[in-house]
Each structure stands twice: as structure tokens, then as C-alpha cells.
């Protein structure tokens, strides 16, 4: 990991890179609580090394509640990742749409695992200012919808694919093609990703320039597209709100979880 101070002042407000910095910042804030849910200390170390106007970001990102929205989702995906790596110390991991996330440094990753963090070239360029490739860890700058980057990844080993906050930004056709390509290429493993409800793209057309493109609630459709995929778990993103250490936020996310909002953002674990 790079230890020098790194200048992120060129990150444009509201850009994809800014969004990634925002979620990194929220995870860093959460890790500084006395009893964090996620405890992403690698995020805190990364934020400490970044030169940026974090006061302004703090005002915009509202860590008060948002740190737990981000933290609970990441924690569930980590809780699926860790047992996979324990069961398969020879695993290959593809972390798609990684942004600036520190999952590779946060989970219990045996030295024998090969981990690939994949995101768009511009995001990976920024990421490289913070982290270095090393034994068992590599970054790939490519769209996941391009086929070529997969040639850089070894096959014939148990494969874990994690995509957090990614697939809803792809067209359904691209999601299908990606899942097909991944399951054709790798013999067996798991694919864990979050999805948002079908109303997501409609709301996004009204409020966020149609950024959100794919929404789904019936995951049996995914099993029909790719018969090798079997849904083994499905957990609303805020289902573990009881682990939140602060009472007002626990109540708020408990309310979200009990209402339709609880079914808006859901985490899915598939085996193949």
C-alpha cells in the first residue's frame, strides 16, 4: 500500500470517482465508532492519506445515517466472502465495480488466494494512487462488459465474484451477458451482488438522469437466464439493522427494513 499523502483535489464533485470517495469516507467514519458494524480500518487509513476537502464531503455525505447504509451492505457481502475464502484458500476472487473499496484488505484473505479488483480505467487509475498490485492482488482497469479482461484471470479454481453497487447501472442485456460469460468461463463458485427493485430505474429516470438501468425482484428470472446459477441466500440490505450501535439510526434503519424500503436494495448469493 502506498504510504505517501496523495492528492485527490482533481476529483470532480459528483463524478463516479467522487461517489467512490464518498463511500470510502463513509466506511472510514463508521470504522471510527466505538462498536462499528463493518469496522473498515483500511478505509480509515486510506482516507488519512488523501488530501481532499473532507469537511465539504462530510456535509454532503451525512455520515450520521449513511455510514450504516453503506456499512450494513458491505458487511453482509464480507460475511459471504470470508467463509468462501476459508473453504477455498486456493480461490480466485473477482471484485467487480470495486471503486476505492478496501474489501481485499478487510476480509481474511489467505496468501494463496488470487484477488482481482476490477473497475473502469479512470477509477482504477485513481485507485492506483492509493493501493499497489502485489502478490495475490491485482487491479484491472476495464469495463466489466468487455470480454478481454477475463483473459488475465486464471481458471480451473473455485471462483468468488462479488459486485457491490454495480449491476443496477448496467442494462439488463449486459447483466445477462456478463453472468453468462462468467459462468461459462469459471467451473464453480459463487456470485454475490446487490439488486434494486424494478421501480429503481423508473425513479432514476425522474430523479437521477436514468443512471439506474436494471431493477429486479424475482430472482428466479436470473436462474432461468443462467440455469447453472442457484440462489442460495437473499437478504435485504438493512436486515441486520439490530447490529447498529446507535439507537436513533438503529430505529431509522429498522423502520426502513420493515417497510417497502427494506425490499428496495437486496443482496443475493448465487452458487454455480
Q: What is the DSSP letter of 12?
A: P
216 binds ligand SAM, rule: CB under 6 A: no
**Is 190 a residue that touches ligand SAM (CB under 6 A)?**
no
* 166 sits near ligand SAM (criterion: CB under 6 A): yes
Q: Does 123 bind ligand SAM (CB under 6 A)?
A: yes
- Residue numbers 133-162 binding ligand SAM by CB under 6 A: 143-145
Q: Which candidate, 69, 76, 75, 77, places its Cα nearest to that of 93?
A: 77
Return the ∠ at Cα 52 (arms to 162 and 21), rounded to 5°: 15
* Pairing between β-strand 265-271 and β-strand 230-236 as defined by DSSP bridges: antiparallel
Q: For the chain, how big is the Rg over CA atoms in Å?
A: 18
Q: Which residue has the cell 484477488?
A: 115
# chain residues binding ligand SAM, by CB under 6 A: 18
Strands 6-7 and 50-51: parallel
Among 38, 98, 104, 266, binds ligand SAM (CB under 6 A): 98
The three-state secondary structure class of 236 is: strand
In the complex, minimum distance from the CB of residue 19 to ligand SAM, in angstroms, rounded to a whole number: 5
Q: Compare residues 60 and 251 and give the one whose CB is closer to ligand SAM.
A: 60
C-alpha cell at 80: 459471504
Q: Which is nearer to ligand SAM, 16 or 267 (CB)?
A: 16
Residues 9-38 close enough to bind ligand SAM by CB under 6 A: 16, 19-20, 23
User: Rule CB under 6 A: which residues touch ligand SAM?
Assistant: 16, 19-20, 23, 97-99, 101, 119-120, 123, 143-145, 164-166, 169
Amino acid at each position: 500500500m502506498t504510504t505517501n499523502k496523495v492528492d485527490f483535489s482533481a476529483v470532480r464533485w459528483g463524478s463516479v470517482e467522487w461517489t467512490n470517495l464518498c463511500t470510502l469516507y463513509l466506511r472510514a467514519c463508521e470504522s471510527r465508532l466505538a462498536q462499528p458494524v463493518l469496522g473498515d480500518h483500511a478505509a480509515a487509513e486510506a482516507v488519512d492519506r488523501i488530501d481532499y476537502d473532507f469537511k465539504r464531503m462530510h456535509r454532503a455525505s451525512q455520515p450520521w445515517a449513511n455510514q450504516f447504509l453503506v456499512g450494513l451492505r458491505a458487511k453482509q457481502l464480507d460475511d459471504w466472502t470470508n467463509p468462501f475464502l476459508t473453504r477455498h484458500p486456493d480461490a480466485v476472487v473477482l471484485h467487480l465495480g470495486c471503486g476505492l473499496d478496501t474489501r481485499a484488505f478487510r476480509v481474511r484473505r489467505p496468501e494463496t488466494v488470487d484477488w482481482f479488483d476490477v473497475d473502469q480505467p479512470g477509477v482504477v487509475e485513481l485507485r492506483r494512487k492509493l493501493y499497489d498490485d502485489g502478490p495475490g492482488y491485482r487491479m484491472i482497469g476495464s469495463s466489466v462488459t468487455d470480454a478481454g479482461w477475463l483473459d488475465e484471470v486464471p481458471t480451473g479454481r473455485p471462483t468468488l465474484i462479488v459486485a457491490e453497487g454495480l449491476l443496477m447501472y448496467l442494462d439488463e442485456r449486459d447483466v445477462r451477458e456478463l453472468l453468462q460469460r462468467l459462468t461459462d468461463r469459471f467451473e464453480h463458485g459463487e456470485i454475490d451482488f446487490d439488486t434494486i427493485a424494478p421501480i429503481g430505474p423508473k425513479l432514476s429516470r425522474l430523479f437521477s438522469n436514468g443512471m439506474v438501468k436494471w431493477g429486479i425482484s424475482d430472482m428466479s428470472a436470473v436462474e432461468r437466464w443462467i440455469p447453472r446459477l442457484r440462489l442460495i441466500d437473499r437478504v435485504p440490505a438493512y436486515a441486520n439493522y439490530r447490529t447498529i450501535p446507535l439507537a436513533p439510526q438503529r430505529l431509522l434503519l429498522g423502520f426502513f427494513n420493515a417497510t417497502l424500503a427494506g425490499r428496495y436494495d437486496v443482496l443475493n448469493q448465487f452458487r454455480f
